[in-house]
Structure 1
């Protein structure tokens, strides 16, 4: 024992490290614990000292104070991003940097901050460099962020070409049929079965969104293929679309292996549909698959069948997440506000009631003529932006003008190459400096002539028109309201989403009343890639006077 003690002490002394004799007499496990604690304390202390005592580079955005290096503000940001953003804005201004698992994330808030990121040039910022490690294993190779931006813009043009007015006009009757089938057979809610049923709203809406999207955008072969095996593939693939996958894309975990297996299976599923169509073995409609077939890039290279399969997966996955969240939040608010629920029902009667007392069908054209329906969807998207953080990789230094960086001191910043820049449109949409009663769900605000809502929509839809490669679109990057993104990555499925959501909500309010089955309005779960409600329990009850 003495020899061991002496040898250890001698070695440490040679290294210039003085260790108390009492420490060396402790049991080894306890020595390890104390050593680790001491090392961690030293690391944290050094990190704190560096932040508070050493001079900071005035040309760079201020860095959010954090105790643990590398880990940084991950816990603070991950638990409630909006609380984090607003509190940091109060302390550091609209532009600041925080550390997230070794990444340096520079946040630019407000309409001008959104424009800096979402309106940035491709020579300065790239979405593909920020997202490809997350999306490529799920969507597949060669599409979305696994290709140059110019190719993605052309892919968006191919998709947009399939969303014709004629196609959109055909969707409401199909969505209605799916709703009737779902509520009758899946939930057992009808005059001959149950008059009231309690559901997990998010689970139910997720299923209904997949069913309606597959029957419309995807085609009847895809809808017919949604059985137990397909549902399992989807669930496994969806398991690869999480914050863990975003931060650590290549972990040797079972969920990652299931994701990869499911991606291939779903890709092959679509390939089989395309092959059967080429052989003339199926009777199909003019859906998105048929629209994509024959598409050719500007350089003459055709879109391959595998590319089409991967685009179809991307359409299914991306649309399902955002629409499931938005429909769930909308119905939760209606369940919480029976007065608005009744007004929405009366709007259906006033607009669609026929001479025999029944209600006429929802149509694509009528959706644009329902002001309250439009208002509740807009207000839900304002309060519950499906994505709280939009990332871009900075590939060349970005100058931040004094008006955004530090208006009081007229000082500009540089966001250096290698940082990530983060836009948070939800901050602008919930900013009390812009919106009155910003945390209260108030659909009426969108009906106010020349109100903030109308002005925001004007800025979003009628600002500078730009063609990024998929047709002319309003840039919209400086609007305080950006429900479908802005700039070159603005969602091309905006009109489809409104059609799908409006038709589903109209069907529900025509046939059922909704009631919250939880004591308080559900809180928000920010630990998922999409902003979702926690414990969204709602009951559906058949209307007494169903029309």
Structure 2
């Protein structure tokens, strides 16, 4: 009996000694960032994090400081929410973009990890070349034509949820220009099915990138529908010849790279490109229009500028050229300012070897998460950061395609977003033509942003309706500020931007 007791004491003593040694070794080892881990194995803080990621990150930031780790769903995510660590994130050879996104790409588009790692750099260079600033002129005419065609379908007047209106414009325009004219316009039911399935796929993309597909039945169904659409359409996309341009579409250029090495994954790459070209462009266009229409002075100045530069009746099929864009800089400023205020919650890299940030060592295997959302609220770079102030962009050298310091909306480093110039051009033309053709006003207050996601530009929370009607006199002033009002810079401070170029 006493022998058993002695054995039990010895076991307990050994366990206590092990715990003490572990604590001592950890104290002597590299100091890791503070961690919100939760208490459920593997899940960790995943349940709390998943309910409202941006709110959870904000709480962790208040509790732990600008650098902290969240353990969720088997992943260690180390967040850098202020400027500390930016150089490490963008320049260190010990962090890797491709390894960070290979699993999400496989889950959301069924591109095998080995295929993705083999083709990613080549595809990135292809898109960067096709969508560089020097090639934007190739898209100008087609974007004008497509937007005029879609705007005709809106009719002379109407009331609509603004995010739905933007989708009705951008979905077909983007597909017709980057993929193939008429890809989704075979009949009304197919168009409705496309809108429905892509919206479900887009809204569930972040969950699909992290969770098993069998847990997301509706999202999985829409993913398979879109893949089947592209499987059926790939031969037509390859054979398609644009009416006016000798050059191939972007999707044709992508297929040229994929064909041979991964031909049977062509539909997966088409789905990936579809999401990349629409997922952020739609909410950015929405937020820009909402901010413009909710700030009366800015709205009035923009309409007056459009009238001065474009002239004529609002229903004419005018062409927005590069020269005219230069005379309407305020609209570009508004887009960039809307992106600043509604930036993605995180962009990510995989730590392949331990890196030091401030007094912390981030271990290999962690996902290093940089947050444009909080970087864009740093008053050092953006005074009065919560206010919509498009005139701040007058200080940026946009003629040389240089943004303001601290602006990280399009990522950075080697794999900066290759489609950023096309997206900015598309959104500018869209907004100019809407405000040229229609007298618009908001019927609901400025909506809050949704806090459900951290990947990509946040969607609005709740509805925001717009009333639009054909403008009989393009020189008439808008009907006044939107219902949300809000202090705005005087128009006299904004007008010079319309005269530049």
TM-score by length of 2: 0.77
- Equivalent of 1:545 in 468, 473, 486: 473
1:205 aligned onto 2:163: no
Structure 2 distance, partners of 1:246, 1:252, is: 12
**Aligned residues of 2:79 and 2:368 also touching (Cα < 8 A):** yes
Structure 1 unpaired stretches of 5+: 1-15, 17-49, 406-411, 463-475
- Equivalent of 1:219 in 180, 189, 199: 180
Q: What's 2:390 paired with?
A: 443
Matching of residues 471-510 of structure 1 within 5 Å: 479-510=405-436
Q: What's 1:397 paired with?
A: 354
Number of residue pairs matched?
447
Q: What's 1:416 paired with?
A: 363
Runs of 4+ in 1 over 6 A off after TM superposition: 54-58, 354-359
- Structure having the higher Rg: 1
- Equivalent of 1:94 in 54, 66, 77: 66
Deviations 1:87-111 (A, max 9, x none): 5444433211122234221112223
**Aligned residues of 1:110 and 1:427 also touching (Cα < 8 A):** yes
Structure 2 distance, partners of 1:74, 1:507, is: 44
TM-score by length of 1: 0.71
**Aligned residues of 1:353 and 1:359 also touching (Cα < 8 A):** no
Structure 2 distance, partners of 1:213, 1:350, is: 28
Structure 1 distance, partners of 2:389, 2:187, is: 38
Matching of residues 319-468 of structure 1 within 5 Å: 319-353=277-311, 360-385=318-343, 387-400=344-357, 405=358, 412-447=359-394, 449=395, 454=396
- Aligned residue for 1:155, secondary structure, equals helix
How far the C-alpha of 1:139 sits from its partner, in A, is: 3.2
**Aligned residues of 2:128 and 2:419 also touching (Cα < 8 A):** yes
Structure 1 distance, partners of 2:124, 2:68, is: 33
Structure 2 distance, partners of 1:399, 1:539, is: 53
Of 321-330 and 241-250, deviating more is 241-250
Deviations 1:492-528 (A, max 9, x none): 111111110000000011122332222x320111224
Instruction: Summarize the Cα distance change of 1:239–1:115 in structure 2 as closer, same or farther, 3 Å threshold.
Output: farther
Q: What's 2:446 paired with?
A: 521
- Aligned residue for 1:110, secondary structure, equals coil
Structure 1 distance, partners of 2:389, 2:472, is: 28
Structure 1 distance, partners of 2:29, 2:320, is: 59
**Aligned residues of 1:63 and 1:97 also touching (Cα < 8 A):** yes
How far the C-alpha of 1:126 sits from its partner, in A, is: 3.3
Instruction: Summarize the Cα distance change of 1:114–1:84 in structure 2 as closer, same or farther, 3 Å threshold.
Output: farther
Structure 1 distance, partners of 2:237, 2:329, is: 41
**Aligned residues of 1:267 and 1:313 also touching (Cα < 8 A):** yes
- Equivalent of 1:134 in 104, 108, 125: 104
Matching of residues 148-297 of structure 1 within 5 Å: 149=117, 151-163=119-131, 168-185=136-153, 187=154, 189-190=155-156, 195=157, 197-222=158-183, 224-225=185-186, 228-229=189-190, 231-232=192-193, 235-236=196-197, 239-240=200-201, 241-251=204-214, 253-255=216-218, 257-274=220-237, 276=239, 286=247, 287-292=249-254, 294-295=256-257
1:533 aligned onto 2:460: yes
Of 391-400 and 165-174, deviating more is 165-174
